[in-house]
């Protein structure tokens, strides 16, 4: 094993934080082609310690099958290692708060696997980022086939230091992150498997630890999701995109650039930006209420002027490619009124009945156009249409779940991008109403959108010797 020096870690972080302009932009397919899959580790002998970055951010219910879908997604990978006699050490986070514990998660993982999964509560010295001797000793004594879990990685500050890091922070962060990576390789394991599909953040466990590993691989579930449904979503002819976060415009711009989309249905903040941009492009204007008031600039739903300009650029490109933009024509406002306009002090919180009808008509047209197509069309749905947690603003989201079922029943491949869209499907529909419902909204948007998934960048670098 080669020790990762601070200077080498600086080079690694410059790629992770996109500070190196010489790094080429790669497609999702190019990343996947360069990252080893789990089967590549078939020759790893029994007794080998293997780090498994697990999708442990779960809230298990009373029995197996409730609140543990992410844990169950890890089973095939963990069984692969157990059958080969590896000592597998699962690590990952639960929630964003450092005080969260994986105690219940470890117990449920044991129930899923049919074996004890002990939890090592304290395993890292937060002062110098070294693995505690007691933890290293417990892992070293584990028998072949054992599965162990480390307590919530986010209890340690080193796990979170890259969340808000800027390129200029790299020199001061590199020494401590190099220490962490080297300690994990020396005292825990030198083989690393990433089986945490939803872990799209800049956690050190996902994007730094691989730097010191001898071998890395993608888990079975990750491989299945990326190489199957996600690659199909790149071919989507209809995209339904919504949500509060206006930075989704970046992802939408990348999707449009691929030239596959024919219909784009939008709601939420995305629709507000596009609605105003379309009006200005056509020589007019459209008030989007409190969402454009600078007094609300700290609110997550605020839409700054530069995002309107981006929406104009996106509309120009999309129209040139023949995309039909289907924007809301009426809105449910904060006081429950339905209106085709939005006043300066108003906020739209759902689409109105005319928009619901417009979306349904568009779906009907799309179904008819694809009824005789030689290959099944693809639809990608992400987000919800309003504040659906409140019954006053749920009808737009609830109604469209039925439209997803219509398309699936017509033979169209329908994919839901996890997150709130997945929650809405669980609330208003059934799993078989769509072709596939992802378990991780952020990862899916990264993969389809403007930026690569951070852990794929790290795995590729580790695999290629960077």
Has residue 245 got a pLDDT over 90? no
Determine the pLDDT at residue 32. Answer: 95
Percent of the chain with pLDDT over 90: 84
Euclidean distance between CA atoms 352 and 322, whole angstroms: 26
Determine the pLDDT at residue 394. Answer: 94
- Here the tokens at position 100 are 């969260």
Q: Return all residues near 442 (Cβ < 8 A) that are at least 6 apart.
A: 198, 200, 201, 419
Determine the pLDDT at residue 209. Answer: 98
Confidence class for position 418, pLDDT limits 50, 70, 90: confident
Q: Where are the strands (E) in 170-316, listed by range?
A: 191-195, 215-218, 238-241, 263-266
Euclidean distance between CA atoms 109 and 113, whole angstroms: 6
Confidence class for position 169, pLDDT limits 50, 70, 90: very high
Determine the pLDDT at residue 23. Answer: 86
Determine the pLDDT at residue 399. Answer: 95
Determine the pLDDT at residue 423. Answer: 87
Q: Where are the strands (E) in 219-328, listed by range?
A: 238-241, 263-266, 324-326
**Contact by Cβ (8 Å): 383, 267:** yes
Summarize pLDDT for 52-66 with one digit per residue, the tens: 999 999 999 999 999
Determine the pLDDT at residue 193. Answer: 98
**Contact by Cβ (8 Å): 412, 370:** yes
Cross-strand bridge partners of residue 149: 90, 119
What is the average pLDDT across 154-161? Answer: 97
For 114-182, the DSSP string reads TS---EES--EETTTTEE-HHHHHHHHTPPTT-EEEE--GGGSGGGTTTTT--GGGHHHHHHHHHHHHH
Confidence class for position 196, pLDDT limits 50, 70, 90: very high
Q: Where are the strands (E) in 171-314, listed by range?
A: 191-195, 215-218, 238-241, 263-266
Q: Lowest-confidence range among 184-188, 219-223, 285-289, 440-444?
A: 440-444
Has residue 421 got a pLDDT over 90? no
Helix (H, G, I), strand (E, B) or coil at 46: coil
- Here the tokens at position 42 are 């078939």
Radius of gyration of the chain (CA): 24
Sign of the alpha-carbon dihedral angle for 318, 319, 324, 326: positive
Confidence class for position 1, pLDDT limits 50, 70, 90: low
Has residue 2 got a pLDDT over 70? no
Determine the pLDDT at residue 348. Answer: 96
Summarize pLDDT for 319-376 with one digit per residue, the tens: 999 999 999 999 999 999 999 999 999 999 999 999 999 999 999 999 999 988 888 9
**Contact by Cβ (8 Å): 204, 158:** yes
Within 10 angstroms of residue 301's Cβ, the number of other Cβ atoms is 17
Cross-strand bridge partners of residue 264: 239, 325
């Amino acid at each position: 094993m080669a020790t990762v020096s601070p200077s080498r870690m600086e080079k690694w972080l410059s790629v992770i934080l996109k500070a190196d302009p010489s790094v080429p932009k790669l497609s999702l397919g190019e990343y996947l082609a360069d990252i080893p899959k789990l089967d590549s580790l078939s020759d790893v002998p029994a007794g080998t310690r293997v780090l498994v970055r697990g999708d442990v951010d779960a809230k298990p219910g009373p029995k197996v099958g409730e609140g543990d879908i992410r844990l169950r997604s890890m089973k095939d990978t963990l069984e692969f290692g157990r059958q080969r006699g590896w000592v597998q050490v699962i690590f990952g986070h639960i929630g964003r708060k450092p005080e969260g514990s994986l105690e219940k998660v470890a117990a449920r993982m044991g129930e899923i696997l049919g074996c004890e999964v002990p939890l090592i509560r304290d395993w890292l010295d937060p002062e110098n980022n070294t693995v505690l001797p007691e933890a290293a000793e417990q892992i070293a004594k584990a028998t072949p086939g054992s599965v162990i879990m480390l307590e919530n990685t986010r209890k340690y500050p080193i796990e979170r230091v890259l969340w808000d890091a800027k390129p200029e922070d790299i020199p001061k962060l590199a020494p401590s992150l190099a220490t962490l990576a080297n300690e994990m390789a020396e005292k825990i394991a030198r083989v690393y498997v990433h089986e945490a599909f939803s872990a799209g953040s800049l956690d050190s466990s996902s994007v730094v630890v691989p730097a010191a590993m001898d071998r890395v691989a993608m888990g079975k579930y990750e491989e299945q999701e990326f190489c199957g449904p996600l690659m199909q979503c790149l071919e989507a002819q209809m995209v339904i995109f919504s949500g509060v976060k206006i930075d989704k415009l970046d992802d939408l711009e990348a999707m449009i650039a691929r030239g596959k989309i024919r219909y784009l249905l939008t709601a939420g903040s995305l629709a507000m930006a596009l609605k105003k941009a379309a009006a200005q492009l056509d020589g007019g204007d459209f008030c989007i209420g409190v969402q454009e008031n600078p007094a609300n600039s700290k609110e997550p739903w605020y839409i700054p002027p530069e995002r309107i300009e981006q929406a104009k650029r996106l509309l120009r490109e999309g129209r040139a490619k023949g995309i039909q933009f289907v924007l809301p024509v009426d809105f449910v406002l904060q006081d429950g009124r339905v209106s085709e306009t939005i006043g300066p002090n108003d906020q739209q919180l759902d689409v109105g009945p005319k928009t619901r009808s417009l979306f349904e008509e568009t779906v009907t047209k799309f179904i008819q156009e694809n009824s005789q197509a030689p290959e099944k069309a693809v639809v990608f749905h992400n987000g919800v249409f309003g504040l659906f947690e409140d019954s006053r603003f749920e009808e737009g989201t609830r109604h469209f779940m039925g439209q997803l079922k219509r398309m699936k029943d017509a033979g169209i491949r329908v994919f839901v991008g996890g997150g709130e869209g997945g929650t809405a499907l669980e609330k208003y529909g059934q799993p078989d109403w769509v072709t596939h419902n992802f378990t991780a909204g952020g990862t899916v948007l990264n993969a389809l959108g403007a930026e690569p998934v951070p852990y794929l960048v790290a795995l590729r670098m580790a695999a290629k010797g960077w």
